Structure 1
Amino acid sequence: MKRRQLIGTGLAGAGLLASASANAQSGPTYNWKMATGWAGGPLMDIGAKAFAERMNQLSGGRFKIQTFPGGGLGNALKVPETVKNGLAECGHTWIGYDWGKDVTTALFGGYAGSFDAERMLHWLYEGGGVELQREFREGADGVISFPLFMRTAEVFVHSRKPVKTLEDLKGLKLRTAGAWLEMSKELGAAPVTTAGGDIFPMLERGAIDAVEWGTPWENVSSGFYKVARYLSYPGVHQPCAPFELVLNKGVWDKMPEADRKLVEVVAKLVTFESWARIGAEDAKAFEFYKKNGVTLIELDDEVQFATRKIGLDWADRTAKEGKSKWFAKVHESQKAFDAAWRDADDWRKVKVKRT
């Protein structure tokens, strides 16, 4: 996005935020519990807690939201269920955890055929994605849903042995989640899933060979590099990862319109703030890993091409199979958006000769 466009978008966003905040300075008070899927780290600090802090700040103190670590209020992988059942008024999760319940969630949470983070943000906020997500989640699961937090491309794996080629993936005991559980088998991997807090001990004792979790910076706090001395990139399995705010529908329905708008705008604000912060910190993280003796490995092109093809083929096949009434609708929306951006790098990016 050009600088003038960024300024225009920023001013428009600031005006909307100021309006929502001004309208929400008076009214009812809220004491909410927020269930999360995280033991800590950036997802908690600049995701869940950042949302709670912004809501308190911009409501003049009327919103007080207490965040709970994964498992504190319910199953860390089933936050929407916890929220729907009224154990928490809201929650922070990754929508892709529910891919086994409805494969459509993979399209909202990112998968091997997804856009990069910038394109995903454009589709969500300017291409109808937010509206589709809201309608889908409310109809399918009875909760209110908005994007909250955005990852850039993840690390492909932190591993106990080098992973660079297709051959290296054969039999690899990989901790992963979402639709990649199914797709990675096509590359010969042996995937399993578990909540975030269980990953390090499994990796340390060799119960798994490798893990995919977050971006380079996010994974510093997880400490994976201490027991898995190889880092493979780029995360073609997960070019982006939008996370999700879920709210109890009964609570939402009772809220004044101004407070609903404040929730929506603050979720958007935190999503863009997290994206900017992660992008800046990821650039520093590679130097951190080098200084700590981690071997950095760029995946062979054939791995990258094969992974993306698996993702795109999976999405096309799933849309045709009709497993979910929503999947084809969302997939077509994303394909149309992708087609409009197909040659975007030609007119948006300048080639630079490195010296």
Structure 2
Amino acid sequence: MNSRRHFLKKAGLVAAASPVALAAPYVKAQDKKITWRLQTYAGAALAEFVIRPAVDAFNKAANGEMEIQLYTADQLVPTGELFRAMQAGTIDAVQSDDDSMNSPVDIKVFGGYFPFASRYSLDVPTLFYEYGLAEIWDQAYTEVGVKWLSAGAWDPCNFATNKPIKALADLKGLRVFTFPTAGQFLSQFGIVPVTIPFEDVPVAMQTGEIDAIAWSGITEVFTSGWVDVTKYFLTNNVSGGWAGSFFANADRWNEVPEHLKTLFNLCMDSSHYHRLHWYWGGEAKLRAEGGRLELTSIPDAEWKTVEDAAHVFWDEVAKQTPRTAKVVEILKKYNADMEKAGKPYRYG
């Protein structure tokens, strides 16, 4: 106590002798609030799970300094025009895959569902942050004036149909709503890829404009309401995890203060983590307990034909540019490592 009294007495004498010795109270500068418009690939119902929690958390934690206004699939611009709209500054940020939003970069082919690039959802962030894809994506988008921010995994790619699929031959002639690269790959097995707005899928299934959906796993079939217009779910998947990212207009990103950039990065990480367990649990639970869709399967030996064709497709993509060749090299290295590691990384 004596030491404390001595300190306070001394501090008082210093303050009296020199009024500027004590700093003035901190007053937060009333800067203009930053407002972003962010559009997601996801429809309204799906967006509530795959991005809304992260946006709401950011807006709350930003404490009035910044606000992200969230728009769902095709609400401001069609999904295929997302990149150009963001590049031009019509919108500030995007959550999508490279393939769907038609990015003018050579690596767009790997976005969404690049056939058999992953077996499980955890493969996607591992490829980006442990095997070097993040650096490649950052470089590619820097070249076109857009800031690539963060990649994560979603669900696998399966078929939901109104007729049972039990053999490869059953795919022939199906008009399928799917992603550009997945559709290009699967067309060799007789499917006809169809591109329509996300929200038009249920009506298109009812009217017969499309016969099947190969856009998601079973979690999204239920969440997006597609379970009401389909009867069967094929358990074989074309890829184990959808690869998607957050992007921003480069100028808008550069205007954001560092502490808000850090906050946004944390919220993106939170979003990626949420989806990992939401999809992983949902895929299993709805297969086990869903009941509303009959599960069908193509025998493993026959489905291996599709996997083998995927590796031929990889080699064709590798020939496009030195950068696509580097990505394919990483995919081959990664999958070889997983096979060599064995269980639980790969089960044959």
* TM-score tier after normalising by the smaller chain length: 0.7 to 0.9
Question: 1:10 is matched with which residue?
Answer: none
Give the AA of the match of 1:340: D
Question: 1:22 is matched with which residue?
Answer: none
Give the AA of the match of 2:53: A
Distance 2:44 2:342 in 1: 36
1:99 deviates by 6.0
Residues 192 and 348 of structure 1: is their aligned pair in 2 closer, same or farther, counting only changes over 3 Å?
closer
Q: Secondary structure at the match of 1:35?
A: strand
Give the AA of the match of 1:301: D
Question: 2:5 is matched with which residue?
Answer: none
Residues 60 and 304 of structure 1: is their aligned pair in 2 closer, same or farther, counting only changes over 3 Å?
farther
User: What RMSD over aligned residues (CA atoms) do the two structures have, in Å?
Assistant: 2.5
Sequence identity percentage? 19
Question: 2:71 is matched with which residue?
Answer: 68
Residues 191 and 222 of structure 1: is their aligned pair in 2 closer, same or farther, counting only changes over 3 Å?
same
Residues 303 and 349 of structure 1: is their aligned pair in 2 closer, same or farther, counting only changes over 3 Å?
closer
In the alignment, structure 1 residue 250 sits paired with structure 2 residue 251 = yes
Question: 1:9 is matched with which residue?
Answer: none
Distance 1:102 1:305 in 2: 31
Mark the runs of 5 or more structure 1 residues left unpaired by the alignment: 1-25
Residues 184 and 110 of structure 1: is their aligned pair in 2 closer, same or farther, counting only changes over 3 Å?
closer
Mark the runs of 5 or more structure 2 residues left unpaired by the alignment: 1-29
Deviates more, 1:159-168 or 1:338-347: 338-347
Q: Deviations over 1:186-244 (max 9, x none)?
A: 11112222221121111111111111122211210222222221111132x12211222
Give the AA of the match of 2:41: G
Question: What aligned pairs does 1:154-303 form with structure 2 within 5 A after superposition?
Answer: 154=157, 156-235=158-237, 237-290=238-291, 292=292, 294-303=293-302
Give the AA of the match of 2:56: E
User: Is the contact made by 1:216 and 1:282 (CA closer than 8 Å) also made in structure 2?
Assistant: yes
Deviates more, 1:241-250 or 1:46-55: 46-55
Distance 2:272 2:198 in 1: 21
Q: Secondary structure at the match of 2:325?
A: helix
Distance 2:31 2:267 in 1: 17
Q: Secondary structure at the match of 2:85?
A: helix
Q: Deviations over 1:89-115 (max 9, x none)?
A: 111112222568545223243311212
Distance 2:50 2:115 in 1: 23
User: Is the contact made by 1:152 and 1:241 (CA closer than 8 Å) also made in structure 2?
Assistant: yes
Aligned residues: 318
Residues 173 and 344 of structure 1: is their aligned pair in 2 closer, same or farther, counting only changes over 3 Å?
same
Distance 1:28 1:335 in 2: 49
Residues 303 and 269 of structure 1: is their aligned pair in 2 closer, same or farther, counting only changes over 3 Å?
farther
Question: 2:156 is matched with which residue?
Answer: 153
1:27 deviates by 8.1
In the alignment, structure 1 residue 30 sits paired with structure 2 residue 29 = no
Match of 1:127 among 131, 142, 150: 131
Distance 1:286 1:65 in 2: 35
Match of 2:87 among 84, 88, 94: 84
Larger Rg: 2
